[in-house]
A and B are shown apart, each in its own frame.
Chain A
Amino acid sequence: MSLILVALINASIFSIGGIGQDMSVFRTPFLDVFKSARIEFTLKPEFNILNKGSDFRSKFSTNPFNLNLAVPVTKGFVFGLGNRERFSQSFDVFFDRDALEMHVEGEGGIEEIYVNLNNNFGIGEIAFRGSYLFGNATEIWNYYIADYYNVDTFLYKYSGKIFCGGIQLKFVSVSYEFAGDIEWEKQNSDTTIDLPSRLSVGLHPEIFGGKVNFLFEHAFWPGDNEDYISPTRFKVSFIKKRFAVGYRYNPWYLKDVNEHGLDFSLNIPIQRLGLITLNLGCSLRNKESLREINVSPEIKLTIHEIFARRRQ
């Protein structure tokens, strides 16, 4: 069984369109690191169930480990470094219409390596992040007509950049992502696309002995790109002690694709090491009558107490 699961490395079916599934929504440049260094390792497998009418089909995907490192340097400055997937172009879909059957598999996407330079000034944090974007994607189109079989392969190569800056005070944060572009090498042509600027506004009041995070996000796709819409998203979460629960509304930049999600988090402190965060994300994506149910249990190991002891 596990072999079958590992063999099917796919993500959302909607990542067929555009430049794939945007994996960076609701992401701000703030590090929230004050005294000790921190290293985070994250694994986020995904289970997707496709549904249309009474038909179901399931898929599995797993992102490789993501790394996030944050190190206080001096005078409130914090240096950060990490990687994560920016756009996923992995998918797996079968097609059966009249005489033609197809099996189309996509794999890969656009990765991101980022560097943060933030400053904690007591009542808040100023953040700046620069990211290098890179990656490869492959699409294999298998065609079947009667007993005949043929195949096409598309290869894409990406490289680009994007920047983000922001300020966070006690109850409010604002960040803006800008100047993003990607050079896109295709088999028959090369092109450069501008990534959307993105404005994020956060409110973080303390209520009922916990903390509520509201995050509003609007992406501004460049006006000359008629294929994509500029969505407004929001996310609200409540954090109390070691527990967190949240709701997110994420309309995609691809037309007619909407996503509603719920997140549940539990922080488990580990003595003399740091923290394990277990996050269960569930979401429902839909486009007309096509639905995709996504379940993504995330495991994050945060190591910070080791560094705190050394500093002492």
Chain B
Amino acid sequence: MKKCNLLLILLFLYCNKLPIGEEELDLRGDFDAYDIELPVFNTFTEYNKYACLGGSSNLIVGKNEEYESRILLKFDFPDSTYQGLDEIKLILKRNDNFHRDTINFSIHLVNVDFEENGANWYQRTNSEWWENEGGDFQEDSIRAGEIAGDSLIIEFNYIELEEIMAADGMIMIPEDTGFVYFYSDEGGNAPQFIIEKNEVVSPIPLDVDCHIVTGTEPFFTDDWIGSGMPYRNYAKFVLDSVLIDKKAVYADLTFEREDYFVMRDSIEIVIRELLEPIDDFNTTTGPLIALEKFAADDTLFSIDIAKHIQRIIEYPDSNFGIFIIFSPENYDIANLKIISGSHSLRVGYIAPPEER
């Protein structure tokens, strides 16, 4: 028992965090903590309606009053003639990370070539435009149906196979409201076009899979964050001279939600600081300042951006503001509308310690 007591005393002595001798740190500076609220210089939204979503982990088909998304697919058929086939089918697997809607769709053949990393609602490649926004495709669908289960399996006949092979690709178009998320090649469960003959299954190599999105364009002074149709909320705060030569321990950026559209349970918001004065959506940004995960239905958002404040304390001429961004911007179709005027930034700071 005595040994046990001795061990407990030693453990207490070694593990306690009593600030004994804290006054020795006064040799290195004055460590009183203060806080200050920085005034907002301005906030607004930049967006990119020409975003290419070929790198997304998902293929999204659906629409509502704000968005419409279509899936483009192209397979690389090695043989020009197929005979004696038992089965011809297209399989897309649903991503269960998103809420499930049941929607009707139609598949149309595309008349012109397009690129995975060049196609968007307006363009089929980086330099060429669709004649019709949202894709140039045959008016009559090759197939239509309903998406309801874990995966979508569409069977084709010989005639349809010949047409698919002759076309430049396929486009899947939503026929009613709701959204369905399928895995893309990048998501690890790529769409499959399968040909079966004498019980031998031959997958056709996937050439292109992507989706193209159109969405509401915000008014310049709206404060939106979005993915799919990416919206970046710009915010800039006025640096108070009291912070010069100080150490920012925290910088609590907060803003409140007005409305949102998200089809998963949580969202990730990142902060990137601008490395030059704001010009447009593609203004150069630096490395990640902060990344926070929130429940999709949160109403108040709080993110520590001390790294940004510390940088502009050290380089006051570099206060070009920050972008508040969904991460990743191509993963899904979502938006968060922020109450205008709700941005605030409270900075806690101390005088930094002196070197020895």
Instruction: Chain B residues near A156: list those with CB within 8 A.
Output: 355-356
- Which residues in window 96-114 of A have CB below 8 A to B? 96-100, 102-104
A15→B330 CA distance, assembly (Å): 53
Q: Is the CB of A1 within 8 A of B7?
A: yes
Q: Is the CB of B19 within 8 A of A100?
A: no
Does A74 lie at the interface of the complex (its beta carbon under 8 Å from any beta carbon of B)?
no
- Which residues in window 270-287 of B have CB below 8 A to A? none
A55→B20 CA distance, assembly (Å): 7
A283→B320 CA distance, assembly (Å): 57
Q: Secondary structure of the B side of the interface? A: mixed
Q: Is the CB of A17 within 8 A of B10?
A: no
- Which residues in window 16-66 of B have CB below 8 A to A? 16-25, 27-28, 31-33
Q: How many whole Å from A284's CB to the nearest CB in chain B? A: 15
Q: How many whole Å from B346's CB to the nearest CB in chain A? A: 10
A245→B31 CA distance, assembly (Å): 44
A89→B32 CA distance, assembly (Å): 25
Q: Is the CB of A145 within 8 A of B20?
A: no
Q: Is the CB of B24 within 8 A of A5?
A: no
Q: How many whole Å from B85's CB to the nearest CB in chain A? A: 63
One of A146-154, A214-222, A258-266 at the interface:
A146-154
Closest to B13 in A: A58
Does A78 lie at the interface of the complex (its beta carbon under 8 Å from any beta carbon of B)?
no
Does A18 lie at the interface of the complex (its beta carbon under 8 Å from any beta carbon of B)?
yes
Closest to B354 in A: A154
Q: Which of A4, A8, A50, A100 interacts with B31 by CB under 8 Å?
A: A100
Does A51 lie at the interface of the complex (its beta carbon under 8 Å from any beta carbon of B)?
yes
A99→B348 CA distance, assembly (Å): 10
Q: Which of B27, B33, B250 interacts with A98 by CB under 8 Å?
A: B33
Instruction: Chain B residues near A94: list those with CB within 8 A.
Output: 17-20, 22
Q: Is the CB of A16 within 8 A of B24?
A: yes
Q: Is the CB of B28 within 8 A of A16?
A: yes
Does A14 lie at the interface of the complex (its beta carbon under 8 Å from any beta carbon of B)?
yes
Q: Which of B15, B27, B247 interacts with A143 by CB under 8 Å?
A: B247
Q: Which of A18, A100, A102, A292 interacts with B356 by CB under 8 Å?
A: A18
Q: A102-B25, A148-B306 are in contact. List 8 more A-B contacts (CB 8 A).
A: A1-B7, A18-B356, A52-B21, A57-B20, A95-B25, A154-B356, A290-B21, A290-B23
A sample of 11 inter-chain contacts (CB < 8 A) reads A49-B13, A52-B20, A58-B13, A94-B22, A97-B32, A100-B32, A104-B25, A145-B33, A150-B248, A152-B352, A152-B353
